[in-house]
Amino acid sequence: MCNLELGKTLGIPDANGGWEGSWGPYVLKQINDHGYMTVNKEPTGICGGLTSYPVNSPDTSNPMSVHDFQANSYKGFTKQNWNKILPTANNFPIDPAEADKVLTGVKRAIGLGHRVTFGTLLDTNGSLKYHNGAVGEYNGVENDTWVLTSQIAQDARNGSINAGHEMIITGYNDTACATYKEGWFGKEQQQCGILTLRNSWGNTGDYYITYDHFKTLVMEAQEIK
């Protein structure tokens, strides 16, 4: 939350400081340059007047000065602590050969015990909007998995997907499969190859994404060492 208020002062990525969305590399570089605030600081109101996150209000309070932020931030995360697996993409889907390399890089990072942050497009068109495109099931929870349905693939090719989200990859399984249906009443299908995610939506815990969806709609990816 404090980093968002600092982002307003810095104008990163824009005047809203990231409240309306940002890119992973911008966020990580800002932390490299200025540190990050631990959560025990938030209740004091030091973060531009806010005391808790998330904020269920259009009022995101006030920018935080560089001086106030750096006087209270932890600066133990440097540019040596992360590297880009996929720089910010400009076209989607990205080249299939490049997508395969990105997935290989993700697996390598996870195999080393690291984590990967990544940005992905989320299809919110038509009936997909009700679950932000997460219309598959892997771990016994309905709509816990992003799968590449024919509709999502078509929307990606048409350039009609405009929503995005950043999450953390914590694991992978080459043989695991998610089930899904094409539309409301379609025949049940499977898509195999699963990445395990940590998401920021509520208290539901893990989410999942299939390799096919990841490779088609990934926007950027960073290894956190």
Tens digits of per-residue pLDDT, 90-145? Answer: 777 889 999 999 999 999 999 999 999 999 999 999 999 999 999 999 988 889 99
Dihedral class, residue 132 (left if φ above 0, else alpha if ψ from -120 to 50, else beta): left
What residues form DSSP beta bridges with 74? 36
**What tokens were used for 218?**
């990934």
Domain boundary assignment for the chain: 2-77, 80-224
Confidence (pLDDT) at 211 = 98
Q: How many beta carbons lie within 10 A of that of residue 28, not counting itself?
A: 19
**Sequence-separated (6 or more) residues with CB below 8 Å from residue 209:** 120, 145, 146, 194, 195, 197
- Residue 118 three-state SS: strand
**Sequence-separated (6 or more) residues with CB below 8 Å from residue 138:** 144, 145, 176, 177, 178, 179, 194, 208
Place of tokens 């919110």: 124
Q: How many beta carbons lie within 10 A of that of residue 118, not counting itself?
A: 23
Confidence (pLDDT) at 63 = 96
Confidence (pLDDT) at 91 = 79
Instruction: Find the mean pLDDT for residues 57-76.
Output: 94
Confidence (pLDDT) at 204 = 67
Confidence (pLDDT) at 15 = 94
What residues form DSSP beta bridges with 116? 169, 223
Please say if the pLDDT value at position 73 is more than 80: yes
Confidence (pLDDT) at 57 = 84
Please say if the pLDDT value at position 13 is more than 70: yes
**Is the peptide bond preceding residue 63 cis, with omega within 30 degrees of 0?**
no
Please say if the pLDDT value at position 19 is more than 80: yes
The CA distance from 7 to 141, in Å, is 36
Tens digits of per-residue pLDDT, 29-45? Answer: 999 999 999 989 989 99
Tens digits of per-residue pLDDT, 140-193? Answer: 888 999 999 999 999 999 999 999 999 999 999 999 999 999 877 788 999 999
Q: How would you classify the pairing of strands 188-198 and 206-210? A: antiparallel
**Sequence-separated (6 or more) residues with CB below 8 Å from residue 170:** 110, 115, 196, 197, 198, 206
Confidence (pLDDT) at 83 = 97
